Amino acid sequence: SQQGEEDPQALSIQEGENATMNCSYKTSINNLQWYRQNSGRGLVHLILIRSNEREKHSGRLRVTLDTSKKSSSLLITASRAADTASYFCATDAGDYKLSFGAGTTVTVRA
């Protein structure tokens, strides 16, 4: 069953702007992960945040997790054309499944 749901479904921004997308989920989790997918290719892992963490950074990426609201956000700062992709959150509830949402499609305009 689909656990995470991303919002918005699509996002179009100018190069240099920040992009923010959100993920909501339904059940308790061990960790939440964000992945990027370029044009029908395989997903690439970006960042993992554990349930006892509230914020994590990796380069231009910032992820927050609010377990009380069962939500997470991914912020991409100073976006570039190469950031154009679909972004998926995935929740790990410790049951050997990783449940993905439907994704947010980000378009960065030059």
**Strand bridging mode 104-109 / 85-92:** antiparallel
Token pair 């609010």 is found at 66
Q: Which one, of 81, 99, 80, 82, lies nearest residue 90 by Cα?
A: 99
Shortest spacing between CB 94 and other proteins, in angstroms: 6
* Closer residue to other proteins, CB minimum distance, 41 or 69: 41
* Closer residue to other proteins, CB minimum distance, 71 or 99: 99
In angstroms, the Cα distances linking 17 to 42, 50, 70, 76, 77 are 26, 28, 27, 9, 7
Answer for the pair 51, 30: CB distance below 8 angstroms, yes or no.
Answer: yes
* Closer residue to other proteins, CB minimum distance, 23 or 108: 23
Shortest spacing between CB 51 and other proteins, in angstroms: 8
* Closer residue to other proteins, CB minimum distance, 50 or 57: 50
Structure tokens at 46: 């970006």
Return residues touching other proteins (CB under 8 A). 1-2, 30-31, 33, 35, 40-45, 48, 50, 88, 90, 92, 94, 96-103
Shortest spacing between CB 106 and other proteins, in angstroms: 15
